[in-house]
Amino acid sequence: MSIEYERLTQREHVLKRPDTQLGAVAEQTLTLPAICVNDAGGIGGSFRTVTTSPAVYKLLDEVLLNAVDNHWRCEQQRYIKLDVTEDGVFKVENDGSTIPIDYWDKTPYVLGAPPTEALRPQCLFSEFMTGSNFDDSKDRKWAGRNGYGVKVVNVWSEWFHVEIHDPVSGLIYTQKFTDNMGVVHPPKITRMKAKTARTIISWKPDFTRLGIALPLPQEVLQTLHCRALDVGACTRATLAVHLNGAKLQVKNLREYTALFATGADVFRDATLHDDGTSAFEVCMAPVEATAKHFVIAFVNGAQCSQGTHVDMFLRRVADVLKTILTKKLGRAVSVDKDKVREHFSVVLNVRMDKPTFSSQIKDRLDTPVKSFGFAYSMAPAFAKRIEKAGAVASMCTQLEDAESRALQRSVPKTKSSAANIPKYERALKLGRAPCSLYVTEGDSAKSLTVAGFGIIGRDHNGVFPLRGKLLNARGANPRQILENAELAHLTQILGLTPGKAEYTDADVKRLKYHKLVIVTDQDDDGSHILALLLNWLDYCHRPLLDKYPTFVQRFVTPLIKAKETP
């Protein structure tokens, strides 16, 4: 069998194996943040479930993030404009610094002279491994890294158009690429009259290759439009972000978070770099049980909601919650990252030098925490907001309910297991007729009670002497209560269910004993034991007492024996 070998160009490889630089191309069902902008400029945020190719979002991100990167390099940049229409044409425009219109060796281009070789803009938009991000000795707090991004977009587009207004050279450069960058049209260079620098990139992705039918569905458009909102949340407040001609009003991460965590209390924390610029910013909101919970994160403007930055923050919150819940519940508890995700929505914005990602898709950060270039320390006020959040009470309830269910399963239910409890003597007809359990204060009271069984009979009467110290159950958690041997034995003997919220007639009928008779001395110790037993029943099994008020009775022992003499 002969083997066929192929020698592909980089363009051909990107088209045949796009997963390396573009990610999944096949249609998937995704749940993504989406926005709807009304005529007055108001924004509504939600999460939409869409069925489309994930690659379409990366084709937008690669160009849009170039404009964001330029914003961080050029403090004079004032706007980024995004247009996405249902016919599938995308456009990104920004002011600020532009690519010089000259040759790669920086030789100036002379207007009117035929180019002797490809000019710098053509190289940067069509030749792989060209860019400004390869010198690792320089600070680089932006998303660009490998020199692939915008070229991949060019290859996966029906047409791709570049327009650069460069006031330094006084020239306007326009160039078009078609047929998935298979055809490179000659650039058109003209004299520039205005003095404002601009870069305008417009393109139409190859929707046929992506398996997407046009026009784009409204829900897909709304999720694509949300990328403009992402930019507004992750950049300086001085940067104006426009979507389809309308200026977006969301200017910071708190406003962004509030848009999706509707009605929730949003609280913020931040850490700065040594130079005073933002390093780590987080907004968090408690999640109601019926609400959508989410974690959205950005690294140097790229939406990257998985990786070491997210794990680091969720672990910090989990540690804080562990301390809070341990204090509230009076016992050690375990809180993991998933529990934080379940009860809080989180939006992170990170700026770091030379981040590393798991792939060109940049959806997972690989940079170790020790290499972030900053150390995040949670502010005490932020930790206090977590403690006061309603989600903490919900977590307490969940933990108690889970423990109660586990304890219910842990209580032995069989007759033989109860029969093995030391010094417990069961009623002979237990389970066949209504019976009473006499709980006595020690062995001596048990002997007195058993002697009385000689009169009333053993068939319907059982006895259990209390030997150890009873726990004051009020305020204790279910595990602490059942770790007390005497209360655990009583729970098992009576057939009670810890944490049961309601008793029906059928539940009462199924009880092993239908009467609990307390036999204690009428002194201080006896009164204390009686009170502790009643306290336990009231605190742990109140629904039973409400349904069956005569369940508990008391055998009153005599204070004085009087004897009549002849």
Longest Cα separation, the chain:
145
Q: How far apart are CA 559 and CA 417, in angstroms?
A: 37
3-state SS string for 419-455? HCCCCCECCCCECCECCEEEEEEHHHHHHHHHHHHHH
pLDDT tens digits for range 511-527? 889 999 999 888 888 88
Tokens 């609400």 correspond to: 291
- Going by pLDDT thresholds of 50, 70 and 90, the confidence category of residue 561 is confident
β-pairing verdict for 552-556 and 515-520: parallel
Phi, psi of 341, rounded to the nearest 5 degrees: -60, -35
Assess contact for 34 and 226: CB atoms under 8 A.
yes
- Going by pLDDT thresholds of 50, 70 and 90, the confidence category of residue 417 is low
- Going by pLDDT thresholds of 50, 70 and 90, the confidence category of residue 385 is very high
DSSP, collapsed to helix, strand or coil, labels residue 32 as strand
Q: Is the pLDDT of residue 53 over 70?
A: yes
Token reading at 342: 């379940």
Token reading at 475: 């305020």
Token reading at 427: 């009623």
Q: Which residues pair with 97 in a beta bridge?
A: none
Average pLDDT in the chain: 89
- Going by pLDDT thresholds of 50, 70 and 90, the confidence category of residue 468 is low
| Residue range 452-459: mean pLDDT, rounded | 91
Percent of the chain with pLDDT over 70: 95
Query: What stretches of 179-234 adopt beta strand conformation (E)?
Result: 183-184, 188-191, 198-205
Q: How far apart are CA 304 and CA 227, in angstroms?
A: 13
- Indicate the range of 83-87, 161-165, 416-420, 476-480 predicted with least confidence: 416-420
Q: What is the pLDDT of residue 159?
A: 98
The model's pTM is 0.77
Name the region of 377 (left: φ>0; alpha: ψ -120 to 50; beta: rest): beta
DSSP, collapsed to helix, strand or coil, labels residue 109 as coil
Q: Is the pLDDT of residue 414 over 60?
A: no
Q: How far apart are CA 13 and CA 490, in angstroms?
A: 74
pLDDT tens digits for range 68-78? 999 999 999 99
Tokens 């180019």 correspond to: 115
pLDDT tens digits for range 226-280? 999 999 999 999 999 999 999 998 889 999 999 998 878 899 999 998 888 889 9
Q: Which residues pair with 271 in a beta bridge?
A: 280
Assess contact for 472 and 381: CB atoms under 8 A.
no
- Going by pLDDT thresholds of 50, 70 and 90, the confidence category of residue 59 is very high
Q: How far apart are CA 348 and CA 261, in angstroms?
A: 14
Q: Is the pLDDT of residue 35 over 80?
A: yes
Q: How far apart are CA 248 and CA 237, in angstroms?
A: 12
| Residue range 421-442: mean pLDDT, rounded | 90
Distances (CA, A) of 231 to 178, 206, 226, 534: 28, 25, 9, 63
| Residue range 478-494: mean pLDDT, rounded | 84
H/E stretch holding 174 reads: strand 171-178
| Residue range 18-23: mean pLDDT, rounded | 85
Q: How far apart are CA 316 and CA 376, in angstroms?
A: 9
β-pairing verdict for 295-299 and 364-365: unpaired
DSSP 454-495: HHH-STTEEEEEE-SPPP--TT--HHHHHHSHHHHHHHHHHT
Nearest to 43 by CA among 297, 251, 284: 251
Nearest to 60 by CA among 205, 222, 158: 205
How crowded is residue 326: how many other Cβ atoms within 10 Å of its Cβ?
Answer: 14
Assess contact for 278 and 15: CB atoms under 8 A.
no
- Going by pLDDT thresholds of 50, 70 and 90, the confidence category of residue 283 is very high
DSSP, collapsed to helix, strand or coil, labels residue 548 as coil
pLDDT tens digits for range 132-176? 777 777 787 767 666 788 999 999 999 999 999 999 999 999 999
pLDDT tens digits for range 535-556? 999 988 899 999 999 999 998 8
Q: Which residues pair with 82 in a beta bridge?
A: 92, 243
